[in-house]
Structure 1
Amino acid sequence: MSNSSRYDVIIIGSGLGGLACGATLSKEGYNVCVLEKNPLPGGCFQSFKRYGRMLDTGIHYIGSMDEGEIMRQYFTYFGIMDKLKMRRMDEEAFDMICYKDKFYPFAMGHERFAETLTREFPKEKDALYRYVDMLDAVGRSISVEQLRKGKLSSGNMDNFYVSAWEQIRGITPDETLRQVLSGSVLLYGGDQSVSTFYHHAIITNSYLQGAWRFVDGSMQVADALVGMIRQNGGTVLTGAEVSKLYLSGNEIKAVEINHSEQLESRYVISSLHPFNTLSLVEKSPLIRKATLSRLQHLPNSYGLFSVYLLQKRESTRYYNRNLFLLGDQNAWYNTRYPEDTRINTCMVSMQPSSAQEQYTDVICLLSPMYLSEVKNWEDTTVGRRGADYEEFKMQKAQQLMAFAERYCPGISQNTEKIVTTTPLTYRDYTGTPDGSAYGIMKNYKNPLITLIPPRTRISNLFLTGQSLNVHGALGVTLTSMLTCAELLGSEYLARKIGDA
């Protein structure tokens, strides 16, 4: 075996979790190699081109990006902040929640958020200020201030044991306000019966602390991270699917790619779903059948059906905000009845372009979808699913467009092409079981079963990615730092990031 195939750390998967680990460990002097099965790195940060337009896969905006906020701090530490083209969203209403035909603004900043909604709900002023105080307390547990004290997180575990919906219900008796505050649950695959208040708070708070969009696509984050890893002397290999992990005693001794080549490293970090990771390890008493079975049967979040409305050039004005259309239903998507396939919620997001600031080329409509809805095609691969699949997607797209038109008349009038993706697309590109958008669901009734630690029973194998801890871009970044801390030490790493 040549020396070139010997690394300090091999990282499986090049989504944000894998790339954040790669950027961090390579910066701290480790010789890293990131392996990606697809032709392009990036996972949910990938963008893809159709009909001359760049379409974002899964990241349509990002929070905590204002000066001094946590996500910006991480990006600065990685060395990529100055390489990103971004646009700060409308601070008076970065999101608009539409419930029963009325739009309610989400404004940036705790004070402004509470004040703005108080105009709509004057009797609920105290409740709204109480609510933002709760968000702020959870947000502070992972703040730059904590990093400078040498802590990646100060815990706040109590909120993992609290139901998001019950907490919101307890804040206000006003049913409309309850639905409005729940309005963006799509951002973390919210399930009314199990979702934790920690997830609701950490993600909602993040957007209040600076909601920004990527100009010309989210792929630039993946490209910048890959660039930094290579600049730090690391390697990123695409078209390199991990086919087996070989053991020697209590350690991974080699990583096999594409059923042929073997690579060696001191440590292995996998950002795949934990079940998929452990399934790659050759049979060993270290991997109990019961553990595999438990991981396999933990519920995953729902997937997403995405419809990209490609606009005629300079025909559709760009709006610097997202819309969450709830219809007159419960804001929480009906996760108890996956057989009910009617469209009852939708996120509308426009992609900004540097070529034309006033207009958008792409309107994206996102709605929850279970894999069961596309079960007929689950044994097929991308591009080979047949005409009946294309017909199904187009019918579903028409339903989603009709739903969006009810609340945003004329939204699709300038559309010249329609592109669609389903949970099968997610499954095949990101390797998530069930085509899940956010990995393993967290359950407030028993969080310890659904929170997965980065350490495994194999001494040099670590886990990362959104199935472990917290969903979304911020959650995945935080989780990847917890994984890196296993090698670098938590206090050392926190202070390095805090002082970046």
Structure 2
Amino acid sequence: MSKYDVIIIGSGLGGLTCGATLSKEGYNVCVIEKNPVPGGCFQTFHRNGQDLDTGIHYVGSMDEGEILRQYFTYFGIQQHLKLRRLDENAFDIIHHNGNDYAFAMGHERFAETLTRSFPKEKEAIRQYVSIISSIGDTINVDQLKKGKLSAGTIDLFTVSAWQWLQDITTDKTLQQVLSAPALLYGGEQAVSTLYHHAITSNSYIQGAYRFIDGSMQVTDALVDVIRRNGGTVLTNAQATRLCLADGKTIRSVEINGKEHLETRYVISSLHPANTMELVEKTPLIRKVNLTRLRAMRNSYGMFSVYLLMKKNSTPYRNYNTFIYNDNDVWYSPSDPRNDRIRSCLITMQPTSRSAEYTEVVSLLTPMYINEVEAWTDTTVEHRGMDYKAFKERKAQELIRFTESYFPKLNRDTEKIYTTTPLTYRDYTGTPEGSGYGIIKDYNHPLSTLIPPRTKIENLYLTGQNLNVHGALGVTLTSMLTCAELLGTEYLAKKIGGA
């Protein structure tokens, strides 16, 4: 039986950053992944000679001195990444009801640029920037140097993002434009917190970047760090049981229903309910608790269309475009039967082969799993012709939706590939194919924010279901998990001095 200090279940960003951190700090780490390729949403798949990003299309807080860059430097991967900084005058363009609004990088530039579109709202925009910046400062590098991973309090999770935006400005168009980043954290108007909105929005203002030749390079670099630190990364290794020694501690992890790996600690990046169902029967895990975890609402998933463009047909645009054709940009679950496309994020993948033209255009629109519920009992590549026809119809609908903004998109496309929430469900193990994990509700923050420590003494959780979504949020959450073993002050100062 192989023995490890820590076994980490799942090789998404949360699992790999825990693995890189703990192996760097001297733990004998083993990361296990059920799929043939590690990475989760930081995974790239190959079609027709192109690398297509699964879920991460751009990241924020990557300028010099910003927080995600500091984490990547500490992990030892920053110098290995190929990055392209987006247009500082407009890293995002919000196309709302026929008009364009630019989001610029840097707090002052952001305020000045948006004020040109809303000259009467100058003070409201400056107040917006000031507040999201102050919330962003709760997790900045200065906090790390003080020995804190976060200086935030639970109060930040008790404020409605939408209500706060309404309090900031009475201009209904500006309210909607400032709400646009909700698509990046699975935001819902009725429940989303100011904290999630502020951390996400502020992050991109602090330095928005794309990965040249795909985001898989982050996964590859983290796996390399773990292995160079003496750790192990196993693929095709599915956790099938967490075996207890005395009813309260895990002694081994069973993989693929047969092999056992002995361990002192376990960290799981799976959905908390999926994790608890792996644990052998114990009074520490009550059925009512499992039921509660299962009942927690998950954010919507995404329908993604990857357009492989004809050679030298489509000029590369160094910004993202959000298209909203409804007055309300928030995607609502109030009528799940309403499957009409109302919003879309358009992004382009830069390559080292050409700076002038793009080879891949990605279109993403929210989708709840109910739209594909007819195929929920099927598996990848075995869903039938009806499913294929559904995806083709949906892809054409999405392309038509964007063609008022990109009129030559369909004409210049050579190949089309698609993914639905079912794809995410089967490859990442996310219930309902959720793009952002468990919904965080400002009305009930304590019941929707999940701590990394469990009632099993040596079992810990990590990943986007716990705290904050996205690349930055998952990285922060993984550090909160690692701090349970290393100590918060020690770890924070170590990262802050990287």
Give TM-score, length-normalised by structure 1.
0.99
CA contact (8 A) 2:181 2:200 kept: no
**Is residue 66 of structure 1 aligned with residue 41 of structure 2?**
no
CA contact (8 A) 2:300 2:368 kept: yes
CA contact (8 A) 2:463 2:477 kept: yes
Give the alignment partner of residue 397 of structure 1, picking from 380, 390, 395.
395
Question: Following the alignment from structure 1 to structure 2, what is the Cα–Cα distance between the partners of residues 150 and 290?
Answer: 37
**Is residue 77 of structure 1 aligned with residue 74 of structure 2?**
yes
CA contact (8 A) 1:96 1:323 kept: yes
**Is residue 162 of structure 1 aligned with residue 162 of structure 2?**
no
CA drift at 1:158: 1.7
For 2:7, the equivalent position in structure 1 comes to: 10
Question: Following the alignment from structure 1 to structure 2, what is the Cα–Cα distance between the partners of residues 445 and 412?
Answer: 43
Question: Following the alignment from structure 1 to structure 2, what is the Cα–Cα distance between the partners of residues 86 and 109?
Answer: 18
CA drift at 1:238: 0.2
Q: Any stretches of 5+ residues in structure 1 without a counterpart?
A: none
| Farther off after superposition, 103-112 or 157-166 | 157-166
For 1:112, the equivalent position in structure 2 comes to: 109
Question: Following the alignment from structure 1 to structure 2, what is the Cα–Cα distance between the partners of residues 58 and 232?
Answer: 28
For 1:260, the equivalent position in structure 2 comes to: 258
CA contact (8 A) 2:265 2:458 kept: yes
CA contact (8 A) 1:138 1:156 kept: no
RMSD: 0.7
Give the alignment partner of residue 175 of structure 2, picking from 157, 178, 183.
178
For 1:238, the equivalent position in structure 2 comes to: 235
CA contact (8 A) 1:255 1:262 kept: yes
Q: Any stretches of 5+ residues in structure 2 without a counterpart?
A: none
**Is residue 25 of structure 1 aligned with residue 22 of structure 2?**
yes
Could you tell me the percent identity over the aligned residues? 66
CA contact (8 A) 1:329 1:344 kept: no
Question: Following the alignment from structure 1 to structure 2, what is the Cα–Cα distance between the partners of residues 468 and 106?
Answer: 29
Classify the secondary structure of the residue corresponding to 2:139: coil
CA contact (8 A) 2:316 2:350 kept: yes
**Is residue 205 of structure 1 aligned with residue 205 of structure 2?**
no
Classify the secondary structure of the residue corresponding to 1:170: helix
CA drift at 1:447: 0.4
Give the alignment partner of residue 91 of structure 1, picking from 88, 91, 96.
88
Classify the secondary structure of the residue corresponding to 1:293: helix
For 2:319, the equivalent position in structure 1 comes to: 321
Classify the secondary structure of the residue corresponding to 1:360: coil
Question: Following the alignment from structure 1 to structure 2, what is the Cα–Cα distance between the partners of residues 297 and 129?
Answer: 40
Question: Following the alignment from structure 1 to structure 2, what is the Cα–Cα distance between the partners of residues 10 and 94?
Answer: 39
For 2:411, the equivalent position in structure 1 comes to: 413
CA drift at 1:209: 0.3
**Is residue 364 of structure 1 aligned with residue 367 of structure 2?**
no
For 1:227, the equivalent position in structure 2 comes to: 224
CA contact (8 A) 1:56 1:217 kept: yes
Question: Following the alignment from structure 1 to structure 2, what is the Cα–Cα distance between the partners of residues 304 and 154?
Answer: 32
For 1:274, the equivalent position in structure 2 comes to: 272
CA drift at 1:335: 2.1
- Runs (4+) of structure 1 exceeding 3 A deviation are none
CA contact (8 A) 1:141 1:156 kept: no
After superposition, the C-alpha distances for 1:120-175 in whole angstroms (9 at most, x for unaligned) are 00000000000000111110000000000000000243220001111111110000
After superposition, the C-alpha distances for 1:470-498 in whole angstroms (9 at most, x for unaligned) are 01000000000000000000000000000
Give TM-score, length-normalised by structure 2.
0.99
**Is residue 427 of structure 1 aligned with residue 421 of structure 2?**
no
CA contact (8 A) 1:325 1:345 kept: yes
CA contact (8 A) 1:8 1:30 kept: yes
The number of aligned residues is: 497
CA contact (8 A) 2:181 2:197 kept: no
